[in-house]
Amino acid sequence: MRRNRAQEHARATPNTGGRPAAARSLKQVLDHGQSLDLALEQQLQHIDHGPDRALTRRLAYAVLRDWPAVQSLIAMLVQRPPDRRDRLVLFIIAVALAELREAREPAHAIVHSAVESSRILGLARLSKLVNAVLRRYLREQADLTEALGDDSVIRTGHPGWLIRAIGQDWPGQQLEILANNNLPPPLWLRVNRRYWTREQAQAALQAAGFDARIPDLPLPDALVLKRRAKISELPGFSEGGLSIQDGAAQLTFDYLALEDGLRVLDACSAPGGKAAHILERVDVDLLALDIDRERLKSVAETWSRLGLEARLAQADAADVAGQHDWWDGRPFDRILIDAPCSATGVIRRHPDIRWLRKPSDVEQLVNTQKALLNALWPLLAPGGILVYSTCSILASENQRQAHAFIKSREHCEPIDHAELPGRQQTYGRQILPGDDDLDGFYHLALRRLPN
């Protein structure tokens, strides 16, 4: 009888391995402003068990998507905030509350796992607090949920300033955008044509048990996995046959209208995915710049895995006059400005963005984008094409930025790409999060006319 009870308890209790890692990751994001990707990377390197890794990621995402409600519940349930050195206990509670609100596991098992997490993380003296808070939530769940109210911040899991900004720019699509930001995205793959064909890659993935489909979009190098997968286990990935890149980002290649022999500048290259796509498709003289030396290392590592080569240089692309070591004075046939932006188009993939980004950040980014456009346009050869792209959905970074730049230039011609996915704007095309299962993305292609 004792053995049967133990087996029943083991089945009813979710594995606790991922929960402490999720709590630690959330503390790094919400208390210290670290990106979720980096926080998870630091935690997951200590977890080998696949289900635990998946659980860590899922719970961290769940808390960040529901953070206003979870934070409000904690404020109602925890009468006296813990000392700063014990703040990790709040994130243990946050993970459990988010999990209880999802209701994917038995409630008593979630509570038990949270108590165990407090012990694993050296907070055993607070395990009674964790237990009491969560059991009170279960007793008073209906009243506590009603007390949260119907505030848009609570309801959508977005900060107020971002809700208002999306409403101003996309009034007819605001609710859909906010809802799509809270849905898990598919995993998009880019096939390296220098390694194999897309059909060969699809067959290898399916033979390995991955449900890979070819999207019904003009994306000739794309495959889509509906579920997340451990990247290193994808057949051909380690050998350079596959990369992770959303379909919207893969469209950048088509806007550039590339052909062999052209001289190309990728001005804000890191992490290097778009430059790699270019090198996989055409033989060009490519120079990739980035202001961050460490991020440039990741570009080089990516290219090495893919078997690609091109020139790399650390430089501030907006400071052409002060950087003579990377430019020899010859104009470029193509310039890509994949500009630093608010990343408001990829919130469904990076839920921490909504809490780390501030309105003042957007203002600074708009100025940076303007500086890049003004500095690099003179480097474009007559007849050449400049592509400006962002993973933002905010008009200040996209349509308004494009309008201001085009109106300030006499020899600048926007290029229409009605054949490509996206919503036609006055200038450029905008993809909203979830359109065709793509991330939010903006593209603008400009041709420099002869003077």
Q: Is the pTM of this model over 0.85?
A: yes
Residue 243 pLDDT level (bands cut at 50, 70, 90): very high
Share of the chain above pLDDT 90, in %: 88
Q: Residue 352 — very low, low, confident or very high, per pLDDT cuts 50/70/90?
A: very high
| Residues in CB range of 104: below 8 A, 6 or more apart | none
Q: Which CATH architecture has domain 2-149?
A: Orthogonal Bundle (1.10)
pLDDT at 186 over 70: yes
* Active-site option among 268, 341, 391, 412: 391
pLDDT tens digits, 278-333: 999 999 999 999 999 999 999 999 999 999 999 999 999 998 876 567 888 899 99
Q: Indicate the angle between helix axes 50-65 and 67-77, nearest 10 degrees.
A: 80
Report the CATH fold assignment for 187-244. Answer: Alpha-Beta Plaits (3.30.70)
Q: What is the per-residue pLDDT across 92-122, written as a single tens digit (0 to 9) for each? A: 999 999 999 999 999 999 999 999 999 999 9
Angle between helices 359-376 and 399-407 (to 10 degrees): 30
- Measured CA to CA, the distance from residue 343 to residue 132 in angstroms comes to 39
Give the pLDDT of residue 276.
98
332-370 CB burial, b ≥16 within 10 A, e <16? bbbbbbbbbbbbbbbbbbbbbbbbbbeeeebeebbebbb
Distance CA 412, CA 373 (A): 12
Mean pLDDT confidence for 272-278: 97
268 has catalytic annotation: no
Q: Domain segments of the chain: what residues? A: 2-149, 187-244, 247-448
Do residues 352 and 36 lie in contact, with contact meaning Cβ atoms separated by under 8 Å? yes
Phi (first) and psi of residue 447, to 5 degrees: -100, 135
For 260-342, strand residue ranges (E) read 263-266, 285-290, 311-314, 332-338
The fold of 247-448 is Rossmann fold (3.40.50)
Q: What percent of the chain has pLDDT over 70?
A: 96
Q: Is the pLDDT of residue 442 over 60?
A: yes
d(C-alpha 120, C-alpha 46), whole Å? 14
